[in-house]
A and B are shown apart, each in its own frame.
Chain A
């Protein structure tokens, strides 16, 4: 299965701290995306990184991609209580098929 695996499954930090989540996958990809899901809501796209890119930034988000290790990381800097949510990585393979990981549940304590 191509399904990604996020690590850790759950993360609890204090407001202001940085949060790092990791994602590993199994086969070749076109791109990797990170999504956020608030409880009871649909997923919201955060950032996309292409297979030929190594790092990307968007506001307080920093994403890295290591295709040799088949892994990606999402860093949220200066976290806020409003960042509390589940975060998923999604890989798109060469057939435009998406595989979502199992998610990391982030809790940011005020």
Chain B
């Protein structure tokens, strides 16, 4: 398996523009996580899906952020409009299990480095 795939790897955009980050989880995994990592705040969980359903989005900073998982093999994280403080590395991770299925080991993608000017 190719692992978790994220695109783009780097994104530079101007304030106010819409940004869409993409993630393809590992085939067969039923949980997907979006994280944001900055020097100031460390690694923050934004939202996670289980069986394509959003389970907890309490980490989503504000209404400018939205995430979807239309099927088991694809998810997007959208920021509209983007702001300079959104600059960070955004990671997608997937896992199999959780809940009655037992503990998860998360597999992380390489991340998308977002810079908002």
Query: A residues within 8 Å of B by Cβ?
Result: 3, 30-31, 33, 35, 41-45, 48, 50, 88, 90, 92, 95-103
A interface SS class: strand
- Is B18 close to A, CB under 8 A? no
Which one of A33, A45, A95, A100 lies within 8 Å of B56 (CB-CB)?
A95
Which one of A3, A31, A43, A102 lies within 8 Å of B103 (CB-CB)?
A31
- Shortest 5 CB-CB contacts between residues of A and residues of B: A42-B108, A100-B43, A31-B103, A96-B98, A43-B108
Residues of A within 8 A of B50 (CB): 96
Is the pair B111, A42 in contact by a Cβ cutoff of 8 Å? yes
Is the pair B91, A42 in contact by a Cβ cutoff of 8 Å? yes
Query: B residues within 8 Å of A by Cβ?
Result: 4, 31, 33, 35, 42-45, 48, 50, 55-56, 91, 93, 98-99, 103-111
CA distance A43 to B37 in the complex (A): 11
Is the pair A97, B42 in contact by a Cβ cutoff of 8 Å? no
Is the pair B103, A30 in contact by a Cβ cutoff of 8 Å? yes
Residues of A within 8 A of B91 (CB): 42-43
Most buried by B among A90, A100, A101, A102: A100
Question: Could you give 22 example pairs across A and B, Cβ below 8 Å?
Answer: A3-B42, A31-B103, A33-B106, A35-B106, A41-B110, A42-B93, A42-B109, A43-B91, A45-B105, A90-B106, A92-B103, A92-B104, A96-B50, A97-B45, A97-B48, A98-B33, A98-B45, A98-B48, A100-B35, A100-B42, A100-B43, A100-B45
